[in-house]
């Protein structure tokens, strides 16, 4: 397209992928790109600190599908290394855009401010924290590189890194006119292997006396909540969540068991899940927190496990078949509709007790959360920092799918307050409720001034 520069093309692609806001803190190496952002229809959200911008972009990605954080070279970029690591660990597609010294400035290797060791030091750091990286130092390849990196973020649901030297911001490029439409690989799974895998899984599910579904975070990240509910409601198989995926289904659903977390969870949920003779694990991260600090007693001979990487049934693996392949095919195969045996009952989350203000009653954490639970409705998003806030939040009843968010795998403190900013901008129809301890609040609490 005529008149397109590297910066306008990058902004155009971000807009096509659903971004409407960019979080960040300006600095001299990125001021040119910030000017381009201000001239665009993307809204810039300047936060108090880069870490707050990174957490806000992460939460925005979790609720919107893509988040963007824009920072300056090294002094800003290295401050979002932690938030980018969290996004990678928990599969959140965040685009990290960093300004950098111009290519002409780098001649003779001068000691420019913010530089650490070499000019590519920050780029090398982010190679270990992201799915894909690039430096836009060549106008002939810039459009292709932007498309490659952004497609990786969308396809893999992980962060990516784009470094933009400040003398390349307004360089004209030849850009394709077609919209960017990232898609799964065109070759797809082996159809024979997929049919065989579904047939084997179906045989085990239909023969089971007590099948159970354990749904985790990849269901939400890859937008498979609708497929999950079609499987649950079509087969009448009960479903549990992990602490990382709490609210992957609405928690007042009659087939929802509650949060499974090994010996750390409610005993009736633990017994029901671990007593299943066919446990269907969908997108499950086998983390220490998800598994109750590895107290989970899950028999691999009874497990069907589908993730974004592979499908395993008992002790063998079907390579090349992913969760997104397997789940629709299993639904199409129509597992038998399950009926409870006489006298059998499935556990349900406890009904929140009625709470009324009582004069002189001691204020306890339990009472606080019981009262908070009464205020939750379909428009409430609960954001919890790791620690007491996260674990106490497990017993809160979330009324809509995917409206509870906590970094329960990476467990970085400081997430919840800036996350509320990201969620409110991604989903203006939601009212964020932030659960944060005093220590975590001291890390990013100043982001209240960004609201």
Interval 400-445: pLDDT, tens: 888 999 999 999 999 999 999 999 999 999 999 999 999 999 999 9
Average pLDDT over residues 261-287: 95
The answer to whether residue 73 scores a pLDDT higher than 80 is: yes
The answer to whether residue 103 scores a pLDDT higher than 60 is: yes
46 membership: H or E segment, kind and range: strand 43-46
184 pLDDT band, cuts 50/70/90, is low
Say what the pTM is.
0.94
List pLDDT tens digits, range 360-384: 778 888 888 888 998 899 999 999 9
Average pLDDT over residues 148-176: 95
Placement of tokens 């960019």 in the chain:
22
Q: Take residue 157 and report the two structure tokens written for it.
A: 């649901």
Q: Residue 237, Cα to own-chain centre: how many angstroms?
A: 26
The answer to whether residue 165 scores a pLDDT higher than 80 is: yes
383 membership: H or E segment, kind and range: strand 380-384
CATH superfamily, domain 365-416+427-450, is Thiamin diphosphate (ThDP)-binding fold, Pyr/PP domains (3.40.50.970)
Average pLDDT over residues 332-349: 84
Cβ atoms 292, 262 nearer than 8 A? yes
Which ranges in 244-322 belong to alpha helices (H)? 267-274
- pLDDT at 187 (0 to 100): 64
- pLDDT at 185 (0 to 100): 61
- pLDDT at 2 (0 to 100): 64
Q: Do the domains 191-333 and 365-416+427-450 sit in the same CATH topology, yes or no?
A: yes
Sequence spans of domains, the chain: 6-165, 191-333, 365-416+427-450
Placement of tokens 């409206």 in the chain:
403
DSSP secondary structure letter of residue 336:
P
Average pLDDT over residues 294-301: 94
Give how far Cα 348 sits from Cα of 211, 216, 253, 255, Å: 16, 18, 9, 8
DSSP for 107-151, written as a single string: TT----TT-BSBTTHHHHHHHTTSSEEEE---TTTHHHHHHHHHH
Q: Which one has a higher pLDDT value, 36 or 102?
A: 36
Cβ atoms 102, 167 nearer than 8 A? yes
The answer to whether residue 14 scores a pLDDT higher than 70 is: yes
User: What topology is assigned to 6-165 in CATH?
Assistant: Rossmann fold (3.40.50)
List pLDDT tens digits, range 243-265: 999 999 999 999 999 999 999 99
Secondary-structure class of domain 191-333 per CATH: alpha beta
Q: Residue 176, Cα to own-chain centre: how many angstroms?
A: 30
């Amino acid at each position: 397209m005529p008149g397109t520069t590297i910066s306008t093309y990058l902004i155009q692609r971000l807009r096509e992928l659903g971004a409407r806001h960019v979080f960040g803190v300006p600095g001299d190496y990125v001021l040119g790109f910030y000017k381009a952002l201000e001239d665009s229809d993307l809204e810039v959200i300047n936060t108090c600190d880069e870490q707050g911008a990174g957490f806000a972009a992460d939460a925005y990605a979790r609720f919107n599908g893509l988040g963007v954080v824009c920072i300056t070279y090294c002094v800003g970029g290295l401050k979002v290394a932690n938030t980018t690591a969290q996004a990678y660990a928990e599969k959140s597609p965040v685009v990290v855009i960093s300004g950098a010294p111009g290519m002409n400035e780098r001649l003779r290797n001068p000691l420019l401010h913010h530089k650490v060791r070499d000019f590519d030091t920050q780029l090398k750091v982010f190679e270990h924290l992201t799915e894909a990286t690039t430096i836009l130092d060549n106008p002939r390849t810039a459009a292709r590189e932007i498309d490659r990196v952004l497609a990786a973020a969308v396809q893999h649901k992980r962060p990516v890194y784009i470094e933009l030297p400040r003398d390349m911001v307004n360089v004209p490029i030849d850009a394709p006119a077609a919209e960017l439409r990232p898609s799964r690989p065109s070759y797809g799974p082996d159809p024979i292997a997929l049919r065989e895998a579904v047939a084997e899984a179906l045989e085990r599910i239909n023969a089971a006396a007590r099948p159970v579904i354990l749904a985790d975070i990849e269901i939400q990240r890859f937008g498979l909540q609708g497929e999950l509910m079609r499987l649950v409601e079509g087969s009448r198989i009960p479903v549990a969540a992990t602490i990382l995926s709490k609210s992957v289904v609405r928690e007042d659903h009659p087939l929802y068991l509650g949060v499974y977390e090994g010996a750390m969870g409610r005993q009736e949920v633990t017994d029901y899940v671990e007593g299943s003779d066919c446990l269907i694990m969908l997108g499950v991260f086998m983390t220490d927190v998800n598994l109750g600090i590895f107290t989970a007693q899950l028999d691999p001979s009874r497990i069907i496990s589908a993730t974004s990487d592979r499908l395993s049934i008992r002790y063998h693996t079907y390579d090349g078949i992913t969760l997104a392949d397997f789940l629709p095919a299993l639904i199409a195969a129509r597992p038998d509709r399950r009926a409870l045996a006489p006298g059998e009952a499935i556990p349900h989350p406890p009904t929140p007790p009625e709470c009324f203000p009582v004069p002189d009653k001691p204020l306890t954490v339990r009472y606080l959360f019981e009262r908070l639970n009464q205020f939750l409705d379909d428009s409430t998003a609960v954001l919890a920092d790791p620690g007491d806030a996260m674990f106490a939040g497990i017993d809160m009843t979330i009324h809509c799918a995917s409206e509870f968010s906590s970094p329960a795998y990476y467990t970085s403190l400081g997430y919840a307050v800036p996350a509320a900013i990201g969620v409110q901008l991604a989903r203006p129809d939601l009212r964020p409720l932030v659960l944060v301890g005093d220590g975590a609040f001291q890390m990013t609490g100043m982001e209240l001034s960004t609201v």
